[in-house]
């Protein structure tokens, strides 16, 4: 509620400043102009939003599933962990801009897959590292108990390590969600859409190219609103899951 008040206050100050100081609209459009652009372009913005949302959700799901599996396999197999380690570093350190041309060549017949691969590269690492770190943090005494009774790897994973790792895993899911959107928009910036569907990044680029700053702000507002919605949705999911399972940070009580 307080955030809403702050937002309204900022919009009022912004609108007043533009009118009082006669700031040109190509430099900083009034919020009213941005709303006008938003309502005028609502059809194309909604279409672009669905394209970016579809890309974000697909990248998010793919990153959560693959990141989780790689994290689990790294935890249970030293050989896998050591084998995959250099690639994990690559994922973390290689800018997606530098890989995009290669992905465009590989997926030249399917622009969506190229964008998906770019977004996935941006957002998968936090999921791998959160899962791996979380699985190694179960209660040391309970580990002793499971080892004493010769509990199998999968049994220990299912009954002790995975539930103990849930706070970290859910944290990873939340971060991955935010990065999936960053990855989706960033991917479209560098890779384009192959002239097929148009995402929000394309709207941003075109508005900037044509110096239609109000349209640029309108597209930016949609991207930001979507980012905030993703963050709150995943934060709510995180809290609900941890509360339901009574998993408190620090694992055993």
Partner 1 sequence: MKMNSENLLVGCEDVSVVLSGRRIVEGFSLRIKRGARVGFLGPSGCGKSTLLNLISGIIEPASGTVSRHLPVEKISFVFQDASLIPWKTVCGNLQLVNDLMGSSRLAKEQLSQRIVNLLEQVGLSEHLNSFPDQLSGGMKMRVALARALMNSPDLLLLDEPFSALDDMTRERLQDDLLKMNAANGSAFVMVTHNIDEALLLCSHICVFSQDGKVIKEFLFDDRSEAIEMRLRRESKEFALFRNEVRQLWNSQSRVGGVNA
Residues that bind partner 1 (CB under 8 A): 139, 141-142, 144-151, 155, 159-160, 163, 245-248, 251-253
The two structure tokens encoding residue 20: 């009082």
Beta carbons of 128 and 176 less than 8 angstroms apart:
no
Residue closer to partner 1 (CB basis): 98 or 141: 141
Q: How far is the CB of 236 from partner 1 (least distance, A)?
A: 20
Whose Cβ is closer to partner 1: residue 108's or residue 249's?
Answer: 249
Residue 165 Cβ vs partner 1, minimum distance, rounded to whole Å: 12
**Measured from the CB of residue 156, what is the shortest distance to partner 1 in angstroms?**
9
In the bound complex, what is the minimum distance in angstroms from residue 235's beta carbon to partner 1? 20
8 Å CB contact between 199 and 52: yes
We find the least distance from the C-beta atom of residue 68 to partner 1, in angstroms, to be 19
- How far is it, in rounded angstroms, from Cα 189 to Cα 4? 31
Distance CA 134, CA 171 (A): 10
Q: Which is nearer to partner 1, 208 or 252 (CB)?
A: 252
| Residue carrying structure tokens 């110096």 | 211
Shortest distance in whole angstroms from residue 250 CB to partner 1: 9
Is-contact 75 229, C-beta < 8 A? no
Two structure tokens written together for 152? 């199998």
Which of 176, 251 has the CB closer to partner 1?
251
Q: Give the Cα separation of 185 and 56 in Å (integer).
A: 9
Nearer to partner 1, 93 or 141 (CB): 141
* Cβ neighbours of 7 (radius 10 Å): 10
CB 185 within 8 A of CB 123: no
3 state DSSP class of 138: coil
Phi-psi region of 246 (alpha: psi -120 to 50; beta: other; left: phi over 0): left
CB nearer to partner 1: give 2 or 244.
Answer: 244
């Amino acid at each position: 509620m307080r955030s809403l008040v702050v937002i309204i206050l900022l919009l009022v100050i912004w609108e007043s400043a533009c009118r009082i100081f006669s700031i040109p609209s190509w430099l900083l459009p009034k919020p009213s102009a941005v709303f006008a652009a938003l309502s005028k372009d609502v059809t194309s913005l909604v279409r672009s939003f669905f394209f970016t949302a579809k890309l974000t959700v697909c990248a998010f799901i793919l990153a959560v599933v693959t990141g989780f599996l790689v994290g689990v396999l790294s935890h249970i197999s030293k050989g896998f962990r050591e084998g995959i380690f250099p690639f994990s570093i690559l994922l973390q350190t290689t800018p997606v801009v530098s890989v995009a041309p290669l992905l465009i060549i590989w997926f030249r017949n399917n622009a969506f897959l190229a964008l998906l691969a770019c977004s996935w590269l941006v957002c998968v690492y936090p999921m791998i590292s959160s899962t791996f770190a979380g699985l190694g943090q179960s209660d040391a005494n309970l580990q002793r108990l499971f080892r004493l009774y010769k509990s199998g790897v999968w049994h220990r994973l299912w009954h002790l390590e995975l539930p103990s790792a849930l706070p970290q895993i859910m944290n990873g899911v939340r971060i991955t969600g935010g990065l999936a959107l960053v990855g989706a928009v960033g991917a479209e910036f560098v890779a384009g859409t192959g002239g097929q569907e148009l995402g929000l990044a394309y709207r941003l680029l075109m508005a900037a190219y044509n110096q239609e700053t109000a349209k640029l702000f309108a597209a930016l507002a949609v991207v930001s609103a979507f980012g905030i919605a993703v963050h709150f949705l995943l934060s709510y999911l995180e809290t609900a899951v941890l509360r339901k399972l009574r998993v408190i940070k620090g694992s055993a009580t």
